[in-house]
Chains A and B, each alone.
Chain A
Amino acid sequence: MSAPLPLALAAGSPGALAVAFAIGVGFGWCLERAGLGSARKLMGQFHLTDLAVFKVMFSAILTAMLGLFWLSRFGVVDLSRVYVPETFVGPQLAGGVIFGAGMALAGLCPGTSCVAAATGRVDGIAVVAGFFAGILTTALALPTIALFYGSGARGGVTLDSVLDTSQGVMILVVVTIAMAGFVAADRIERLMARSVAEAEP
């Protein structure tokens, strides 16, 4: 018997969109609660004073990753029906570099800029507007870099197949690295707080 989840909801149907809205509400709520709607807090990540971005992101990744593995293992979720984003090596590396630079300048990412805008922060609105303009311009100019854009296609390849190991082992590796990161993050924050305190007369 095949797994009952994900739900078979037709694209664009009221049911599918109700789910989308509810998920979005949860997403926005958690981001705001964590303070990620604040550019100042987000920049703390890159100034190494407040590593909340790292903690939130990787706690989320670990939770979803472990949850999906076990729900699949117990036959609740059919993993083959979950869409895995495709890999395009060159474009994603280049896109990452450009995106990271933009994020450091803006102090917000696309999702958090929506939260920032929703809470009245005008800089959030500016990021939203800039992001839209960037998407529009890039889309219209995309044919000029079409060859690069489509290069490095690897389909839905995952880390475990690249490293030739099982998904379970890969999950253990990611969890271990993340935990080490959490310990390091707390240490770094304490170090930075101490050096700031010592710098003040």
Chain B
Amino acid sequence: MTAIRTLHQTLAIAAAGLALLAAAAGTPSPRDAEPFARAGADAEAAASTPRVVGARQLAAWIRDGEQPVRVLDLRGDSAYASRHVPSAEPADFARLDSLAAQRDQTLVLYSDDDVRDTQAWANLAALGHDRAYVLSGGMDAWTEEVMEAALRGDSADYVAALSRYFGGAPRREDAHPMSAAPPSPRVRADGERRETDAFGEPVRRGC
């Protein structure tokens, strides 16, 4: 019995020690990598794996107001003026510095070329802001999945309500259940298409 007690005490001391050191260290980021060095060396890696949010999930965030987000439109003033995601603000790369300073603010970035929003996300990440998302599919995704959402299956009512909240015009797609398209192949290699769920979110395997 005493052997086990000694073992318990050893484990307890080890845990306490590691926890105290962790509190002193603060962040689990690798200690010898500076944010800017990481941005330079890993810009490619970082730029190809931004945190994404689907258009419908973003719509839910904006509508429900539970997760306060600032939506930033990177497409330029004339594109913004013609139409934009409701509640979005026009932004450019110069503004990113001041935005990065507000670490507690969740930001959602979008453009229409998959490049500017990803680059902006990488810049923010390099500046230490880790609460930014890229709207998956950009402005086009907002239009297709929210404003002109195709309604099918059991999520139809939910998606329709979401769409109409923003003044959208969802259309009922009267597809026969048997002809529903199977989900696209689930391949995790970067750059390839991922399955999306009813929110348009890339499928992340849950528990």
| Chain A directly contacts chain B within the complex, with at least one CB pair under 8 Å | yes
Q: Which residues of A contact B (CB under 8 A)?
A: 1-3, 10-12, 59, 62-63, 66, 68-70, 72-75, 79-81, 83, 85-86, 89, 142-143, 146-147, 150-155, 161, 164, 166-169, 171-172, 175-176, 179, 182
* 8 Å CB interface, B8-42 against A: 11-12, 15-16, 18-33, 41-42
B61 contacts the other chain (Cβ, under 8 Å)?
A: yes
Q: Which of B110-118, B139-147, B185-193 contacts A (4 or more CB under 8 A)?
A: B185-193
Instruction: Show 10 residue pairs from A and B whose CB-CB distance is below 8 angstroms, ordered by the A residue.
Output: A10-B188, A12-B186, A70-B22, A79-B28, A81-B49, A143-B154, A146-B154, A147-B161, A151-B66, A171-B19
CB distance from B52 to the nearest CB of A (A): 11
Say how far B74's CB is from chain A's closest CB, in angstroms. Answer: 21
Which A residues lie within 8 Å of B154 (CB)? 142-143, 146
Name B125's closest neighbour in chain A (CB-CB): A80
Chain B, Cβ-Cβ closest to A69: B28
A172 & B20 in contact (Cβ 8 Å cutoff): yes
Query: Given A167-B27, A179-B16, are A85 and B187 also a contact pair (CB < 8 Å)?
Result: no
Which residues from chain B contact A167 at a C-beta distance below 8 Å? 22, 26-28
Instruction: Report the bound CA distance from A152 to B60 in whole Å.
Output: 10
Size bracket of the B interface: 35 or more
Known A73-B31, A75-B30, A179-B15; further 13 A-B contacts with Cβ < 8 A: A3-B30, A12-B186, A69-B18, A70-B18, A70-B28, A143-B155, A143-B157, A147-B158, A147-B161, A150-B158, A161-B131, A168-B21, A179-B12
Interchain CA distance A188-B30 in the complex, whole Å: 41
Closest-CB distance, A159 to chain B (whole angstroms): 14
* B157–A175 touching, CB < 8 Å: no
B residues in contact (CB < 8 Å) with A: 11-12, 15-16, 18-33, 41-42, 45, 49, 53, 57, 60-61, 64, 66-67, 104, 106, 131, 133, 154-155, 157-158, 161, 186-189, 199, 204-207
Contact in complex: A10, B187 (CB < 8 Å):
yes
A89 / chain B contacts, CB cutoff of 8 Å? 66
The CA of A182 and the CA of B5, in the complex, are separated in Å by: 13
- Check if B207 sits within 8 Å of A72, measured CB to CB: no
CA distance A39 to B42 in the complex (A): 50
A83 and B204 contact, CB distance less than 8 A: yes
- B44 CB → nearest A CB, Å: 10
Closest to A157 in B: B67
A74 x B57 contact (CB < 8 A): no
Query: Which 10 A-B pairs have CB atoms at the shortest separation, nearest pair first?
Result: A143-B154, A175-B19, A166-B26, A168-B22, A172-B23, A72-B28, A75-B30, A146-B158, A168-B23, A172-B19
CB-nearest residue of chain A to B30: A75
Contact B26 A72 (CB under 8 A): no
Closest B residue to A171 by beta carbon equals: B22
Partner of A150, one of B28, B157, B199: B199
| B42: nearest chain-A partner, CB-CB | A2
Q: Which of A79, A86, A152, A167 gathers the greatest number of chain B CB atoms within 10 Å?
A: A167
| Cα of A1 to Cα of B118 in the assembled complex, Å | 21
Q: A150-B60, A167-B26 known; A66 and B18 CB under 8 Å?
A: yes
B contact residues around A152 at 8 Å (CB): 66
Measured CA separation A161–B207 after assembly (Å): 22
B190 to chain A: closest residue by CB: A8
Bound complex: CA of A3 vs CA of B24, how far in Å? 22
- Assuming the contacts A73-B25, A73-B29, A172-B20, asked whether A85 and B207 have C-beta atoms less than 8 A apart, the reply is yes
- A168 touching B25 in the complex, CB below 8 Å, given contacts A73-B31, A75-B30, A146-B155: yes
